[in-house]
């Protein structure tokens, strides 16, 4: 599977990573190379095989749905690049 | 046994434990010896955040506990902690610029357990960015350097736990934590002549460890000996309600499992691991290792793991897919780096610029590959197919173990350590091939250990890997212990730093 420049642009957009137009051809080439490597998987007969979801056949633990912590607003916000009045601040989202 | 005559920072954990309990050294003196070695070892690029104040405070507390007769095995043992572990109030960046300045408000379960056991943290260790790499060259801190050297080239300590490997091999600490998603404990251990074990998936809590690929990630110890790995793993392992994939199983006494008796055990040699173009010295090392286990009374059998060749391509679908999802959290909102925005930039520009500036090239590449294989129209063709192949890879192992095999012996790496920068112009896939012998173990969730067994013709360490049954780290370490004793690997790198 070869990735063209439009696809590379779309993938970068989906991944929310800015890639300059000039860098798209090289990116498309790299991604194509990796996907070609992955194509070996098409040789394998996977008929009737369930996709693996967990390495150990154990049921995930359940716990009571109850509050176990909280009231740590200052700690939650401490590492934020921009926090104001108890909130995370971001550029305007709604016009 | 009395305290060894060498400098305390070069001791094993077992020797230090015994000397501490007998009062032959204090944790404070032991810690000081390591801090001195660390300051003299800056050329290795191993420690990226030093924490001497924390270390000395923990050492004093350990001395008080030892004096009071309350000394668990790891009490007073100075360790390095991979930068992937969140440590409260101490930079925890996963070697990424996107987490520059991040100081967690919480402590990972592994470091909590280690500190509860009295262990001492010397600082944070270099690694590949978000643990994505096999040479420690993707780190935002710059390269970690292998203490082993045979000419004027600087060699890679391997990756992603390259700083951990360099620090332990150069005696900057007694042991270090590592993490392993595709070989990141075992490959650097092999490149630096130390021991590294990746436990069974679920044996060690992932809580507070920065996530790369959650179904593959597992933390483990990197140490100078197999006995140290047993002691150290004991303190890391166990059920944690905060990690829903951590197994609610009793942790056996790993050190007690080191009986040195493997008579009658069946060791499998998988024929698919004999790769085309494998260097003759790796092949010979493998045969030598098998002979050592045979001499110890084990039965050597040829086995087949038919889907081996599909492990790397399956891994490079699954791991980036999980990474693209895990790394979505780095958005410049809650922690870490946020790009400077231009007039009129909205939230999308904030995300895109932040992630372009914060993530290095390899991380960007993997996030985008993961995004692609999960995107509409390709999910079945790539991601679901890879998960089916993964099921077949696991089934290969299940069948071998069901056939009575106790452990599997393979090379740990396809070569000895290579020079820093030597792979920089290569195709990314060339670098991925470093994980060819280790990645199957993560896909199947099994425990695997790298043991130093010999030196290459050039004089660099070479390791073998033993793979065990799920939850049988004790038996696995016992096999490793026999191999370690038979190989008698005692070489140390000549100090140049």
Contact B367 A15 (CB under 8 A): yes
Give which of B438, B437, B434, B414 is closest to B423, Cα–Cα. B434
pLDDT surpasses 80 at A95 = no
Q: State residue B432's pLDDT score.
A: 85
> CA-to-CA distance for A76 and B334, rounded, in angstroms?
8
On whether any CB of chain A is under 8 Å from the CB of B431, the answer is no
Closest CA to A29 of B429, B310, B435, B319: B429
Query: How large is the average pLDDT for residues B227-240?
Result: 98
Q: Nearest CA to CA, how far is A29 from chain B (Å)? A: 11
Check: CB of residue A40 under 8 Å from CB of residue B313: yes
Is A15 in Cβ contact with B350 (below 8 Å)?
A: no
A16 vs B201, B351, B387: nearest CB: B351
Q: Tens digits of per-residue pLDDT, B347-382?
A: 999 999 999 999 999 999 999 999 999 998 899 999
Q: Any CB–CB contact under 8 A between B324 and chain A?
A: yes
Is B382's CB within 8 Å of A15's CB?
Answer: no
According to DSSP, the β-strands at B78-82 and B175-180 are: parallel
Q: Given the cut 0.90, state whether the ipTM is greater than it.
A: yes
CA distance B244 to chain A (A): 6
B365 reaches A (C-beta below 8 A): yes
Residue A26 near chain B (CB below 8 Å): no
- Which of A2, A15, A35, A57 to probe by mutation at the B interface, max B CB count within 10 Å? A15
Q: At what angle do helices B361-374 and A5-14 cross, to 10 degrees?
A: 100
**How many residues are there in chain A?**
95
Which tokens is B199 given?
A: 């436990």
Alpha-carbon distance B363 to nearest alpha carbon in chain A (angstroms): 11
Q: How confident is the prediction for chain B on average, in pLDDT?
A: 96
State pLDDT tens for residues A36-76.
999 999 999 999 999 998 887 777 778 889 998 899 999 99
Phi, psi dihedrals of residue B115, rounded to the nearest 5°: -70, -40
Other CB atoms closer than 10 Å to residue A88's CB: what's the count? 14
Burial class (CB in 10 A: 0-12, 13-18, 19+), B263: exposed
A83 interfacial to chain B (CB closer than 8 Å): no
Cβ contact, residue pair B365, A51, below 8 Å: no
Q: Which residues of B115-174 form beta strands (DSSP E)?
A: 120-125
Tell me the chain A residues in contact with residue B331 when contact means C-beta distances shorter than 8 Å. 16
What is the number of CB-based contacts under 8 A between chain A and chain B? 164
Q: How confident is the model at residue B2 (pLDDT cuts 50, 70, 90)?
A: low
Q: Which range among A21-30, B225-234, B259-268, B428-437 shows the weakest confidence by mean pLDDT?
A: B428-437
- CB-CB under 8 Å, A56 with B445: yes
Give the catalytic positions of B in this structure. Answer: 82, 160, 184
pLDDT digits (tens, 9 = 90+) for B114-172: 999 999 999 999 999 999 999 999 999 999 999 999 999 999 999 999 999 999 999 99
Q: Where is pLDDT greater, at B304 or B429?
A: B304
What are the beta bridge partners of residue B120?
Answer: B78
In 3D space, the residue among B439, B491, B454, B423 whose CA is nearest the CA of residue B190 turns out to be B454
pLDDT band at B424 (very low <50, low <70, confident <90, very high): confident
Q: Is B239 on the interface with A (CB under 8 A)?
A: no
At residue A61, the pLDDT reads 77
pLDDT of residue A5: 96
User: Are A90 and B350 inside 8 Å of each other by CB?
Assistant: yes
Say yes or no: B272 contacts chain A, CB-CB below 8 A.
Answer: no
**Of the candidates A35, A51, A75, which has its C-beta nearest B384's C-beta?**
A51
Cβ distance A50 to B368 less than 8 Å, yes or no, reads: no
- Dihedral sign for Cα B319, B325, B330, B331, please: positive
B329 in contact with A, Cβ within 8 Å: no
Percentage of the residues of chain B whose pLDDT score is greater than 70: 99
pLDDT at B1 over 60: no
Q: Is the pLDDT at A94 greater than 80, yes or no?
A: no
- B481-485: long-range contacts, CB 8 A cutoff, minimum separation 24: B481/B226, B481/B227, B481/B258, B481/B260, B482/B260, B482/B262, B482/B292, B482/B293, B482/B296, B482/B298, B483/B289, B483/B292, B483/B293, B483/B451, B483/B453, B484/B195, B484/B225, B484/B226, B484/B451, B484/B452, B485/B260
Determine the 3-state secondary structure of B228 from DSSP. helix
Measured between alpha carbons, how far is B10 from B22 in angstroms, rounded to an integer?
18
Match 């372009």 to its residue by tokens.
B356
Contact list, B102 vs chain A (CB under 8 Å): 79
The predicted structure's pLDDT at residue B414: 93
How many angstroms separate the CA atoms of B260 and B242, rounded?
A: 36
d(CA A86, CA B395): 51
Q: Which residues in chain A have their CB less than 8 angstroms from residue B200's CB?
A: 56
SS3 of residue B297 by DSSP: coil
User: String of b and e for B106-122 (b: at least 16 CB within 10 Å)?
Assistant: bbbbbbbbbbebbbbbb
Answer left, alpha or beta for residue B445, where phi above 0 means left and psi between -120 and 50 means alpha.
left
- Using the predicted structure, report yes or no on whether residue A18 has a pLDDT greater than 90: yes
- A51 shares contact with chain B (CB less than 8 Å): yes
């Amino acid at each position: 599977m070869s990735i063209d420049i439009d696809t590379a642009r779309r993938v970068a957009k989906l991944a929310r990573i800015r890639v300059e137009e000039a860098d798209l051809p090289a990116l498309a080439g790299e991604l194509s190379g990796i996907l070609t490597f992955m194509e070996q998987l098409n040789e394998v007969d996977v008929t009737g095989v369930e996709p693996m979801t967990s390495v150990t056949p154990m049921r995930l633990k359940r716990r009571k749905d109850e509050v176990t912590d909280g009231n740590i607003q200052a700690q939650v916000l401490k590492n934020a690049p921009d926090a104001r009045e108890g909130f995370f601040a971001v550029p305007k989202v709604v016009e | 046994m009395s305290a060894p005559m060498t400098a305390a920072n070069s001791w094993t954990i077992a020797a230090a434990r015994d000397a501490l309990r007998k009062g032959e050294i204090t944790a404070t003196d032991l810690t000081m010896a390591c801090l001195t070695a660390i300051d003299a070892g800056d050329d290795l690029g191993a420690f990226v955040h030093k924490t001497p104040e924390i270390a000395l405070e923990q050492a004093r507390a350990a001395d008080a506990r030892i004096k009071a007769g309350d000394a668990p095995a790891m009490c007073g043992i100075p360790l390095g902690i991979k930068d992937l572990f969140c440590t409260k109030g101490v930079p925890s960046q996963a070697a990424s610029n996107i987490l520059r300045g991040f100081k967690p408000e919480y402590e990972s379960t592994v470091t909590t357990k280690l500190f509860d056991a009295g262990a001492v943290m010397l600082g944070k260790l270099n690694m590949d960015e978000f643990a994505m790499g096999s040479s420690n060259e993707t780190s935002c801190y710059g390269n970690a350097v292998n203490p082993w050297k045979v000419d004027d080239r600087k060699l890679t300590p391997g990756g992603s736990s390259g700083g951990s490997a360099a620090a332990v091999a150069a005696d900057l600490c007694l042991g270090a934590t590592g993490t392993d998603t595709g070989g990141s404990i075992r490959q650097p251990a092999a490149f630096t002549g130390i021991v590294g074990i990746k436990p069974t998936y679920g044996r060690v809590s992932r809580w507070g460890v920065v996530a790369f690929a959650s179904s593959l990630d597992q933390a483990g110890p990197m140490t100078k000996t197999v006995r140290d790995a047993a002691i150290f793993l004991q303190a890391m392992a166990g059920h944690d309600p905060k990690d829903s994939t951590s197994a609610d199983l009793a942790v056996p006494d790993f050190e007690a499992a080191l009986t040195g008796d493997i008579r009658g055990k069946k060791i499998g040699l998988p024929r698919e691991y004999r790769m085309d173009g494998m260097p003759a010295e790796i092949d010979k090392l493998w045969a030598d290792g098998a002979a050592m286990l045979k001499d110890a009374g084990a039965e050597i059998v040829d086995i087949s793991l038919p889907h081996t060749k599909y492990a790397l391509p399956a891994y490079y679908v699954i791991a980036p897919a999980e990474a693209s999802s895990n790394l979505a959290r780095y958005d410049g909102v809650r922690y870490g780096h946020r790009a400077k925005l231009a007039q009129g930039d909205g939230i999308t520009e904030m995300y895109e610029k932040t992630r372009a500036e914060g993530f290095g090239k390899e991380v960007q590449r993997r996030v985008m590959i993961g995004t692609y294989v999960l995107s509409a129209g390709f999910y079945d063709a790539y991601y679901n197919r890879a998960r089916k192949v993964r099921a077949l890879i696991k089934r290969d192992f299940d069948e071998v173990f069901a056939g009575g095999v106790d452990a599997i012996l393979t090379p740990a790496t396809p070569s000895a350590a290579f020079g820093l920068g030597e792979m920089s112009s290569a195709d990314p896939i060339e670098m991925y091939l470093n994980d060819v012998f280790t990645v199957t173990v993560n896909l199947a969730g099994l425990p695997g250990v790298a043991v130093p067994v010999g030196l290459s013709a050039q004089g660099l360490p070479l390791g073998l890997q033993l793979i065990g049954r799920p939850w049988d780290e004790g038996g696995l370490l016992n096999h490793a212990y026999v191999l370690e004793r038979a190989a008698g690997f005692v070489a140390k790198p000549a100090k140049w730093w």
